[in-house]
Amino acid sequence: MKNKVLILSNKLPYPSDDGSSIAMARLLEALTMKELDLHYYAINTDKHFKNVEESAMHQSNVTFEAFAWNTSPKPSTALGNLATSLPYHVSRFYIPTLLKCLKAFDTKSFHTVILEGAFMGMYLSEAKRIGQQTILRAHNVEHEIWQRLAENEKNSLKRWYLRLQSRRLQRFESQLSQAVDQIWCISEKDQEWFETLTPAASFIPTAVLPKPGPSKIQPLRCHHLGALDWAPSIQGLQWFMTEIWPQVLIRVPQAEFHIAGNNPPKNFQFPKDQNIFFHGRVEDATAFTHDYGISVIPLLAGSGMRIKILENCAVAVPSISTAIGAEGIYTKDSTEAIIVESVAEFVEALVELVQQPEQALALGQKAQEDILNRFGMQPTLQRIEKVWSC
Give the pLDDT confidence of 150-195 residue by residue, as tens digits.
Answer: 888 888 998 999 899 999 999 999 999 999 999 999 888 889 999 9
Judge whether residue 284 has pLDDT over 80: yes
Average pLDDT of 263-269? 80
> CA-based Rg of the chain, rounded to a whole angstrom?
21
Average pLDDT of 197-208? 92
How much is the pLDDT for 302? 60
| Contact present, 135 and 115 (Cβ < 8 Å) | yes
Residue with the larger pLDDT of the pair 261 and 12:
12
Give the pLDDT confidence of 127-156 residue by residue, as tens digits.
Answer: 999 999 999 999 888 888 888 888 888 889
| Contact present, 262 and 11 (Cβ < 8 Å) | no
Give the pLDDT confidence of 335-368 residue by residue, as tens digits.
Answer: 999 999 899 999 999 999 999 999 999 999 999 9
> From CA 314, how far away is CA 332, in angstroms rounded?
20
Average pLDDT of 229-238? 85
> From CA 265, how far away is CA 230, in angstroms rounded?
10
Judge whether residue 303 has pLDDT over 90: no
> From CA 274, how far away is CA 74, in angstroms rounded?
33
Reduced to 3 states, what is the DSSP secondary structure of residue 166? Answer: helix
**In the chain, where does DSSP find H-type helix?**
19-31, 52-58, 75-80, 88-91, 96-103, 124-130, 142-151, 156-179, 188-195, 231-239, 245-251, 285-291, 307-314, 343-354, 357-375, 377-387
Structure confidence at residue 205 as a pLDDT band (50, 70, 90): confident
Q: What percent of the chain has pLDDT over 70?
A: 99
Q: In sequence order, what are the beta bridge partners of 138? A: 185
Average pLDDT of 374-379? 85
How much is the pLDDT for 305? 56
Residue with the larger pLDDT of the pair 301 and 249:
249
The domains of the chain, with CATH numbers, are 3-204 (3.40.50.2000), 221-374 (3.40.50.2000)
Tell me 220's DSSP state. T
Structure confidence at residue 308 as a pLDDT band (50, 70, 90): confident
Q: What is the pTM of this model?
A: 0.76
The mean pLDDT value of the chain amounts to 91
How much is the pLDDT for 37? 97
Contacts of 106 (CB under 8 A, 6+ apart): 130
Question: H or E segment at 137?
Answer: strand 131-138
- Strands of the sheet containing 201-203, edge to edge, are 63-69, 36-45, 3-9, 110-116, 131-138, 182-185, 201-203
> From CA 239, how far away is CA 226, in angstroms rounded?
15
Contacts of 138 (CB under 8 A, 6+ apart): 117, 118, 183, 184, 185, 186, 190, 194, 201, 304
